[in-house]
Amino acid sequence: MPLSQTLITPELALAFDINAAGAANAAYSHPAPPLSSDFESSASAAAGSGGADEPARTLKRPRLVWTPQLHKRFVDAVAHLGIKNAVPKTIMQLMSVDGLTRENVASHLQKYRLYLKRMQGLGTSGGGPISAADAATDQLFASAPVPHQFLSRGPAAGPEPFLPYVQTAPLQHPQQITAAMQQQQQQYYHQRHLGHFGSSTGGFDHGFLNRGMPQPAMHQMVGPPPGTGFLQLTPPPAALSVDDLEPARREDGGERKVLTLFPDR
């Protein structure tokens, strides 16, 4: 283990960084220019200088939360790349979410592939039982439509014609965005609570059957359950930086503190 790192604990360094970003956070509302220089985008600089004081590599970034919005971006990216080119690096680049790392994508991609594989198997025949563990992890994946090409057996399709967000779409009003996001959030939590497949005979209630079906507004179940903390990376109309969000705090005990972009309620 590198002795050079032991002088400053990750917590200390992290706290330091929070303070540095604090001023910017105060003015949350205006579109924060990508502060991304701190993290992995500075890899080249770090390599060049060879200095030991590069925080980017030393610092633990907060654990990424794959919101339905973010996942949708992921799926779109994969779809547009075509299965051939859909590898972590390119996916990450296409998504153009600031602060998103290749490893974030790789990890997610691995899970997503397992999900797709399971789906194909279940297509025609009765299909074997899905493990409880698998079913539990499908929540997120069910939130975004699965492009048809993913389920086909034939040779991989090429990149799709239209490109969605390489160029930033014209901005909507912040209020509208917030509202839309909240709706999706509600839906997400709705699924979390009522989720699982209750169906007994025959019909599965897989998420992709929900394609385009607007859920009637339910009771007002809002906001994350208190106590469950997470950091949300928002997949932005324009690239947003993770740095814009207050990093989740990790303590030695493993306790995590929360932070969400959305107003609590």
Partner DNA sequence: AATCAAATAT
Partner DNA sequence: GATATTTGAT
Sites of contact with DNA (CB under 7 A): 60, 63-66, 86-90, 102-104, 106-111, 113-114, 132-133, 136-137, 139-140, 254
User: Any idea of the CA torsion for 245, 248, 62, 174, to the nearest 10 degrees?
Assistant: -20
Q: How far is the CB of 26 from DNA (least distance, A)?
A: 26
Q: Is the CB of 63 or the CB of 148 nearer to DNA?
A: 63
Measured from the CB atom, the residue of 4 and 29 that comes closer to DNA is 4
The minimum distance between CB 70 and DNA, in angstroms, equals: 8
CB atoms within 10 A of CB 264: 9
User: What whole-number distance in Å separates Cα of residue 248 and Cα of residue 265?
Assistant: 20
Contact status, residue 57 vs residue 4, Cβ threshold 8 Å? no
Of 130, 142, 158, 119, nearest to 210 by C-alpha is: 142
CB of 20 to DNA, least distance (A): 21
Q: 259's torsion region: left (phi>0), alpha (psi -120 to 50) or beta?
A: beta
Q: Quote the least distance from Cβ 191 to DNA, whole Å.
A: 10
Tokens, residue 27: 């003015």
Other beta carbons less than 10 A from residue 229's beta carbon? 15
Tokens of 107: 């990890």
CA distance 235 to 68: 9
- If the CB atoms of residues 75 and 140 are measured against DNA, the closer one turns out to be 140
In the complex with DNA, the residue whose CB is nearer, 31 or 99, is: 99
CA atoms of 91 and 89, how far apart (whole Å): 5
CB 98 → DNA: shortest distance, Å? 14
φ, ψ for residue 35 (rounded to 5)? Answer: -85, 20
Nearest-CA neighbor of 150 among 127, 125, 119, 124? 119
Choice between 112 and 165, CB closer to DNA? 112
Q: How far is the CB of 27 from DNA (least distance, A)?
A: 27
CB of 167 to DNA, least distance (A): 23
* Tokens (6 digits) for 228: 């469950």
> In terms of CB distance, is 100 or 239 closer to DNA?
100
* Nearer of residues 154 and 202 to DNA, judged by Cβ: 154
